[in-house]
Amino acid sequence: MEPSDLTTRRNGRQRRVPGASTLSEHIGSMDRGETSSPEPETEEEADSLIRSSDRENRRRHRVRPGIRGELGNIALLLFLYVLQGIPLGLAGSIPLILQSKSVSYKDQAFFSFVFWPFSLKLFWAPLVDALYFSRFGRRKSWLVPTQYLLGLFMLYLSATVTSLLQSEEGPKVGTLTAVFFMLAFLAATQDIAVDGWALTMLSRENVGYASTCNSVGQTAGYFLGNVLFLALESAEFCNKYLRIVPKDTGIVTLPDFLFFWGVIFLVSTTLVAILKRENDHSRGRRNVPEETQGVTETYRLLFSIVKMPTVFTFCSLLLTAKIGFSAADAVTGLKLVEAGVPKEQLALLAVPMVPLQILLPVIISRYTAGPRPLDVFYKAFPFRLLIGLEYALLVWWTPHVKQEGGFPLYYYAIILLSYALHQVALYSMYVACMAFHAKVSDPLIGGTYMTLLNTVTNLGGNWPSTVALWMVDPLTSKECQGAVGQSCSSSLEAELCVKEGGVCVTTMDGYYVESVVCVVIGLLWWLWLGKRMRRLQEQSSSAWRCRVNQ
């Protein structure tokens, strides 16, 4: 979750929590009612007023239900966020499956567009806010159809994914990308709807639990769709740890997994559509409409923010800051799979990182809470660059460590330690950025402002990763050995080399070239533009205020 105010969300919409601004009016009207009431003329009237006052006090106490009174709503939110994480986890597992089928890195780059919708959802979030059927419910108008479509897409994939992955011409990456892009787009739209519903589903006292449901639910869903699926889909893992009698397949297959969750999506969405009322008047909850900016106004506001000189400079720096890390972040895992490391083992290494990922923001926030949070970003930058070179060394070392039965335990320990160091550097930069976003965002439009900066930050990581994957093959050099006059500069020439009895041998892996180039670019960015980013902290608060509000 982003460190934004509880009444704003990361998809760029500003809301007032229902009932928040009417509390003083409510108390004032009660006070006025008490002063204008006539004096009781008899003891019976006085007793009646006392009993009425007691009933009113008990009723007012019941209006504040606490978390126990809203466990059902919290459980529903948690479940909806878990559902959201499932397609994201599945999308994250597909590149590892494709890599085990020896697809090109250009295909991997093409599939990486699947991960863009969550970084771009700000651009259609105002539409989700503004267009709805009031009778059906503002959030259910989007939640129900998007989850139905998610379920239908999963059922479609369960019937076709095997042919898409195992066709004679190789995996059909284009079709896979289109289908999983739609899954990610629908999941991002569902996230916008659930984020908005959380603010009205929970009472003002408990709205803070919405962020907990988001982080826990989405993480759990991603774990189910990625780590758990890859482990149970692996015949090697299941035979080694879960079975007595070995089999050729895992406990679950990708079509079975997709079919199961497709049915869960359809059934649960139907139950929510029928049984859950969006405007709940129970337990004394008042139906106060949300305040939301119009679509045109929101887009105009975004444009006004970007035009500000300080914001434009900062966004330009955010879009280029992660170029130096792109090879390490996007390609290293695929190269380890290519070198023979089981994909399920790589996925399982993420499990011990969960406690570290929980503790790191708490620890790092102590150093980013001051007036210069980007100093932490600047100091962590070169260490993350060095970890990128260490990743390249780890990939080079991997084939030399491989044994007949797999990889030794100390190899996985080194990978785990490298990943942990990477997480420390990554979270240091991430928390510093989020702290700076919170510091400079105009409080009058904090939700839209912070969401714009977070969107640019995410895009600054997406496009370099796509380019890094795309450039691996062009930077790789191969030669045909064993066949005179043949080469391996293209896939067609590589096939001719094999037909002539030769074999294509890699003389220069583009990943190593890319790793060095990225680190050099990152170092130049740090020495030149990094100092410029630090100087942005010296700008006055007025330089970050939106001109619309001045």
pLDDT in tens, the chain (550 residues): 433 333 333 333 333 333 333 333 333 434 433 433 444 444 455 555 445 555 545 544 444 456 777 889 999 999 999 999 999 999 999 999 999 888 999 999 999 999 999 889 888 988 888 888 888 888 899 999 999 999 999 999 999 999 999 888 889 999 999 999 999 999 999 998 998 888 788 887 888 788 788 888 988 999 999 999 999 999 989 998 898 899 998 999 999 999 999 999 999 999 999 999 886 544 444 444 555 567 888 888 888 888 899 999 999 999 999 999 999 999 999 999 999 999 989 989 888 988 888 888 889 988 988 889 999 999 999 999 999 999 999 999 999 999 888 899 999 999 999 999 999 999 999 999 988 988 888 766 656 787 788 889 999 999 999 999 999 999 998 888 888 877 887 777 887 888 888 888 888 999 999 999 999 999 999 999 999 999 999 988 888 887 654 4
So what CATH class is 307-549? mainly alpha
Q: Which residues contact 532 (CB under 8 A, 6 or more apart)?
A: 313, 317
Q: Residue 66: what pLDDT? A: 63
Q: Residue 19: what pLDDT? A: 37
The residue ranges of every structural domain in the chain are 70-277, 307-549
Contact assessment for residue 208 and residue 200, using Cβ atoms and an 8 Å cutoff: no
Q: Residue 286: what pLDDT? A: 42
Return the closest-CA partner of residue 342 out of 230, 225, 222: 230
What architecture is the 70-277 domain classified under in CATH?
Answer: Up-down Bundle (1.20)
Measured CA to CA in angstroms, residue 338 lies from 9, 101, 108, 333, 471 at distances of: 40, 9, 13, 9, 17
Residues 252 and 232: their CA atoms lie apart, in Å, by: 6
Q: Residue 145: what pLDDT? A: 96
Residues 388 and 519: their CA atoms lie apart, in Å, by: 7
Residues 481 and 488: their CA atoms lie apart, in Å, by: 10
The answer, as to whether pTM is greater than 0.85, is no
Q: Can you name the residues that pair with 403 across neighbouring β-strands? A: 406
CATH topology identical between 70-277 and 307-549: yes
Q: Residue 20: what pLDDT? A: 36
Contact assessment for residue 231 and residue 348, using Cβ atoms and an 8 Å cutoff: yes
Contact assessment for residue 76 and residue 212, using Cβ atoms and an 8 Å cutoff: no
Residues 139 and 439: their CA atoms lie apart, in Å, by: 30
Q: Which residues contact 274 (CB under 8 A, 6 or more apart)?
A: none
